Amino acid sequence: ILWISGKLFKNNNRIVKKTGSVLYAIMDFSKYKILFVKAFTICISIQVMRVLVCYVVALAIGAPVEMKYFFLFIPIIFFILMIPVSIGGFGIREGASILLFSSVGMHQSDAFMMALLTSCALVLYSLPGGILFVVRGLLKRKIIKEI
């Protein structure tokens, strides 16, 4: 992989170094195979759940698109969301959904509504974890101040 990245990016030494550091970090996990498999399984499960949430939302609004397109498009959309050009990916998610899903027959308004409802669903099912995180932080501060 380092050889390939060296050939592809021979003019950009920074990318080659970054690729090497990522590979060495992955190799460090070779001692922890079971932990790596568990973490990988959790990551894949989360991605599949994201796809299924989008698919169920599309079914709920009556948008007839095959599930294979969701497994193809949703990872692309979430990858696009990593580009830091908006707050929370709003607008980017909807635009990418309209662009991709309208190409396979979904109406643009259905694609927009699916993206908007999916983002609401993701916020709602993440909210309990966020609340727990804040409460735990406040409790730790209170305990530390008392000590």
Q: Are 12 and 22 in contact (CB under 8 A)?
A: no
At residue 102, the pLDDT reads 93
Provide the 3-class DSSP secondary structure of residue 5: helix
At residue 12, the pLDDT reads 67
Distant-in-sequence, close-in-space partners of 16: CB < 8 Å, separation ≥ 6: 2, 5, 6, 9, 10
Please provide the size of the chain in residues. 147
The CA radius of gyration of the chain, in Å to the nearest whole number, is: 20
| CA dist., res. 79 & res. 96, Å (int) | 10
At residue 104, the pLDDT reads 92
At residue 68, the pLDDT reads 93
At residue 82, the pLDDT reads 84
Give me 60's structure tokens.
Answer: 């709920």
pLDDT averaged per 10 residues, the chain (length 147)? 64 72 78 86 92 93 90 91 80 92 93 92 88 87 69
At residue 125, the pLDDT reads 84
Q: Are 108 and 51 in contact (CB under 8 A)?
A: no
At residue 126, the pLDDT reads 86
Give me 15's structure tokens.
Answer: 């990318």
